[in-house]
A and B are shown apart, each in its own frame.
Chain A
Amino acid sequence: MMVTRWHAVLLLLVMMAAVFVADAMSSAPLDPYRAPPLFALGSGKAPSGAHCTVVVGTDM
């Protein structure tokens, strides 16, 4: 059988489904009423998301 990109994308979808299942097992329920404002700019609040450059937790 010829393996096409469709087959590969199906594999990717299965992998992502596993990520969402693992996420659902450990995460608190979503609450849109406690969500941050649409734009960080002008919100008056510090950004709360994590980034690859974050040094928190590295003893630095």
Chain B
Amino acid sequence: MISSSKAAPLLASRSFRISLCATILGIVSIAVAASAGPRFGLLLLIGGGMGATLEGLGFGFAGPWRRLILVRNPSGFLAQIMSMALVALVAFPLLEGHPTELTGAHAPVGFAMVAGAYVFGICMQLLLGCGSGTLVNAGSGNLVAILALPFFAIGSFLGSFHLSWWTSLGSLSVITVSGTNGLLFTLAGLGVLGGLAILIGEKRKLSVPPHLWCAALIIAALALLHLVVAGQPWGVVYGLGLWAAKGVIAVGADVSLSSFWSAPAHQTGLYSSILTDVTSLTNLGLMAGAAFVTFCRGGFTASQQTLTPTIWVSSVVAGFLLGYSSRLAFGCNVGAFFSGITTGSLHGWVWFLCAFAGSFAGISIRNRLGMGR
């Protein structure tokens, strides 16, 4: 048994902290596997790996877009493109060869989808976090993200609740590309995005640091493992909406008034444990992975930034709108942008264009509100 006088220096050891966190994540994943099923335990572990990679290696979405726009630094964006190209290279043949077992992140382009992606782009810059970013920031103890998270979930739930009305405003059918031609189209598109980022970027900022290459590789591997295990690509937003829906049911409200939540597929989710919901598990893993990295770094003792009333209000509003808009847009930076594009959905490309345009507006609004750059 470790005495308290010995435990303190032991906890200060970084290698001990890493071992402790890996053991905890392993034990919890095994417990989930034993009680819910092995697939669900593995999904929690995959989410944990993603969270640890995003937090530990500084891979993200909102931040790199901001750096590309503000200081013409394309390195983080290029790492995203590289990661997506790697996923597409494997995902396209997998989806083509196993259409009954695997599905892509395919959704229609429509008026609400376009507007939703634009609003999401604005809000991800106001909050300095997107779908995955908010979860990772929350896990690392960022008070702004933790404040925004419940409103993100409520927004996602209400966006789902109203989704049928929004899509009735006008929408194309689901348009996808597949097979070798689809893969070539996707790789060419990603190449164009990467080329444009290099053109925009300052010459001395073009090199991508090794840790970002490493993160791009790990995220690509974990995203592919997610596809193979779950049969569907990585997503974030659905799980958050489901958590809010569970809260609404717990207080006695009836969510079956919504055509979305009354659909049999969603009713199953509402009355099954979140430990059997794919996006809930990876979301929990994202937060846990980020928390463990922060703990290993000794980052939890850091003081919080002073929150001004502007930051409080904007966190709540931006959090809510992130959730609401991402449901109209059929996903966030993960479900629509990363997973949509890498599995051949046109809506992923449209999402990117709209959200990137929204990011320009979001950065401008952030400056006007005096929230810093």
Give chain A's interface residues, CB within 8 Å of chain B: 2-9, 11-12, 15-16, 18-28, 30, 32, 34-60
Q: From B58-66, B212-220, B243-251, give the one contacting chain A.
A: B243-251
Known: A5-B142, A19-B246, A58-B164. A30 touches B35 (CB 8 A): yes
Contact status A57-B261, CB under 8 Å: yes
Given the complex of chains A and B, what is the CA–CA distance between A48 and B37 in angstroms? 14
1/0 per residue B142-182: CB within 8 Å of A?
A: 11001001100000000000011001100101100000000
Q: How far is the CA of A21 from the CA of B274 in the complex (A)?
A: 11
The chain B residue sitting closest to A37, CB to CB, is: B39
> Are A26 and B249 neighbours in the complex by a CB distance under 8 Å?
yes
Which of A12, A37, A57 meets B138, CB within 8 Å? A12
Is B98's beta carbon under 8 Å from chain A? yes
Known: A40-B230, A41-B98. A52 touches B327 (CB 8 A): yes
Which partner residue on chain B sits nearest A19 by CB separation?
A: B243
Interface contact A32-B35, CB-CB below 8 Å: yes
Are A2 and B238 closer than 8 Å at their CB atoms? no
Cβ-defined partner of B263 (8 Å) among A34, A39, A53, A56: A56
Query: For the complex, what is the distance from the CA of A27 to the CA of B247, rounded to whole Å?
Result: 12
**Residues of chain B whose beta carbon lies under 8 Å from any beta carbon of chain A:** 33-40, 42, 94, 98, 100-103, 105-108, 138-143, 146, 149-150, 163-164, 167-168, 171, 173-174, 227-233, 235-238, 242-243, 246-247, 249-250, 258-263, 265-266, 268-279, 284, 287, 291, 294, 299-304, 326-327, 330-332, 335-336, 339-340, 345, 347
- The chain A residue sitting closest to B266, CB to CB, is A57
B304, A40: Cβ atoms closer than 8 Å: no
Minimum C-beta distance from B256 to chain A (A):
11
Tell which of A7, A30, A45 touches B101, judged by Cβ atoms closer than 8 Å.
A45
Q: Given the interface contacts A46-B101, A50-B265, A58-B167, does A11 sit within 8 Å of B146 by beta carbon?
A: yes
Q: In the complex the two chains form, is A28's CB within 8 Å of B39's CB? A: no
| A5 in contact with B277 given A40-B101, A49-B231, A52-B335 (CB within 8 Å) | no
